[in-house]
Amino acid sequence: MIRFVLGNFTLELLVLGLVASVISLMRTSRPWARSEFIEAIFSYFILFSIALSYLYNFILHVFFGETAARFIGWEDSPFQREVGFANLGFAVVGFLAFGGALICALPLLWELDASCSARQSFTFWRFYEPAT
């Protein structure tokens, strides 16, 4: 049972996000405008499925790296911490976006994507051996 819960936490967070959005909608006056409905669903999706999910992954990879590696079939390595801190960055983006600071979250998301792409490119060229 514990393995099922830990292995499917993203599905559980999605369901919790839907429940939270319904509760949020119930607290507002009816009839709901289409924009209110979409904002409630999207906001709580961002909070639960992005921010909390990535925060959970950060905690798991950084503080329980050996357990996380064994759970997903990896060998324990420093890469665990790197993945964990990347997850922390996306969690921060999710919390900023949920808090209404989407204008602040978009540049941060852009920077995270650019830095990951640059790192992948550097790693590729560092180990690239041209054919002779």
Q: Which residue has the higher pLDDT, 108 or 89?
A: 89
> In this structure, what token pair is assigned to residue 125?
């060229």
Per-residue pLDDT, averaged over 107-111, amounts to: 58
Q: What is the pLDDT of residue 110?
A: 61
Averaged pLDDT of the chain: 76
Q: What is the pLDDT of residue 58?
A: 92
**In whole angstroms, how far apart are CA 117 and each of 22, 90, 120?**
38, 15, 5
> In this structure, what token pair is assigned to residue 8?
């499917």
* pLDDT single digits (tens) 7-49: 677 788 888 999 999 998 888 888 888 888 888 888 888 888 8
**Is this structure's pTM higher than 0.75?**
no
Per-residue pLDDT, averaged over 103-120, amounts to: 57
Kindly state the helix (H) or strand (E) to which residue 89 belongs, with its residue range: helix 79-98
Task: Determine the Cα–Cα distance for residues 73 and 84; give it in Å rounded to an integer.
Answer: 16
Any idea which of 5-14, 65-74, 81-90 has the lowest mean pLDDT?
Answer: 5-14
Q: What is the pLDDT of residue 68?
A: 82
- Domain ranges for the chain: 2-127
* Long-range CB contacts (within 8 A, 24+) of 19-22: 20/44, 20/47, 20/48, 21/45
